Amino acid sequence: MRYSGNMTSYLANVHGYMGTKSPERTRRALFSVPGADERKLSKVSSLAADSIVFDLEDGVVFERKSLAREMVYSALETIELGAGHAERAVRINAVGSGLELDDLNVVLRSNRLDALVVPKVETAQDIHFVSRCIDLIASDATKNRVRILAAIESAKGLLNLQSIAAADPRVDALIFASEDYCADVGCTRTPHGREMLFARSNIVTVAAAYGLQAIDMVCMDFKDDAVLRDECIDGRQLGFTGKRIPSVGAASLRAGALAVPKPLQPLLARAFSSANAPTPGAPAPAGDALPTDTTVASAVAVPPTEPAPSGEAAAGHASVASAPTTVAAPTPPMSPAAPVAAHSMSYLVVWKHALDA
């Protein structure tokens, strides 16, 4: 496959990252942002993520729901995400909660909304309701674009997966919400996660059968390097195409300070060099070493003569807001002798690397 200018899409196609139904949208990492948290909302423009999910459900206490709707609408209209490439999504309150219609009446009036995350989906009727609201409330431009991501959080939802997947052409993805699912079926959460294997495998199977993306659960123990790495790789091996990220807080952005896997080091080093190229006449940095506290918000092309990379250099660290999310042209390969320092790697990079594992 030839590089055509959009390196994120290029790498996604080369390595099979994308869902099959909506090839224009890559959803490898879905960052969740509490809708009533002004500080966190102010940071999202610097995140190199495929999807930013403004949360009106569990991330907002009842007393602040109305305020959150106003803040999320404002964020949709004013905040630029990922140099214009990130998806703007909103997680509404569950159908039947009594709050969902108020959510939809506000967010569907934004012409910049790309997707709705519908939590606690249990039947096809839940999807039909949301899709009908899109038809009645949204502008023509929005209703033709907005997609539905259905979160499966209960035994009933799991049993109705096929009808949910086929409920409406707007459905793009199935999301597994592990904590609510475990609470609903009464299973005990364990480190190995075998109690969720049936549910996760079913979601992947139905998603594949209906041409949808499958988004894996949040890693609840993301501060543990080994747990985070193993869960990401396990999700990819099961067939998931993306993963939920709990918040844009510092913990989830840094997520464990993992050492960079060796196959990824040259790619990250080239990404760092491209994203931080000095201005003409400025002194060149010493070598290609990466600072310890650096994450990279770039997707880097690999020259045709090189083998396919084992991961994509992209991250959700807010400290690299100035780094571009795509690189216009391939950079020269790094000298084998050039030093590459191990450095912290964000959750997003871990997941994207796991997609190649």
Structure tokens at 46: 């610097």
The residue assigned the tokens 């952005």 is 253
Across the range 113-118, mean pLDDT stands at: 97
pLDDT at 158 over 50: yes
Average pLDDT along the chain: 72
Q: What percentage of the chain reaches a pLDDT higher than 90?
A: 45
pLDDT at 270 over 60: no
List the chain domain ranges: 17-253
Return the CATH architecture of domain 17-253: Alpha-Beta Barrel (3.20)
Cα separation of 33 and 42, whole Å? 10
pTM of the model: 0.67
Task: Find out whether 72 and 54 touch, Cβ atoms under 8 Å.
Answer: yes
Partners of 242 in the β-ladder? 215
Residue pLDDT, tens place only, 298-327: 222 233 333 444 443 333 333 333 333 333
Least trusted range by pLDDT, from 110-114, 167-171, 236-240, 319-323: 319-323
**Strand 51-55 relative to strand 171-176: parallel, antiparallel, unpaired?**
unpaired
More confident residue, 329 or 205: 205
pLDDT at 236 over 70: yes
pLDDT band of residue 46 (cuts 50, 70, 90) is confident
Q: Three-state secondary structure along the chain?
A: CCCCCCHHHHHHHHHCCCCCCCCCCCCCEEEEEECCCHHHHCCHHHCCCCEEEEECCCCCCHHHHHHHHHHHHHHHHHCCCHHHCCEEEEECCCCCCCCHHHHHHHHCCCCCCCEEEECCCCCHHHHHHHHHHHHHHCCHHHHCCCEEEEEECCHHHHHCHHHHHCCCCCEEEEEECHHHHHHHHCCCCCCCCHHHHHHHHHHHHHHHHCCCEEEECCCCCCCCHHHHHHHHHHHHHHCCCEEEECCCCHHHHHCCCCCCCHHHHHHHHHHHHHHCCCCCCCCCCCCCCCCCCCCCCCCCCCCCCCCCCCCCCCCCCHHHCCCCCCCCCCCCCCCCCCCCCCCCCCHHHHHHHHCCC
Task: Find out whether 52 and 85 touch, Cβ atoms under 8 Å.
Answer: no
Cα separation of 111 and 97, whole Å? 25
Q: What is the pLDDT of residue 66?
A: 96
pLDDT band of residue 79 (cuts 50, 70, 90) is confident
Cα separation of 175 and 117, whole Å? 9
More confident residue, 296 or 226: 226
More confident residue, 344 or 135: 135
Cα separation of 199 and 259, whole Å? 31
Residue pLDDT, tens place only, 178-201: 999 999 999 998 888 899 999 999
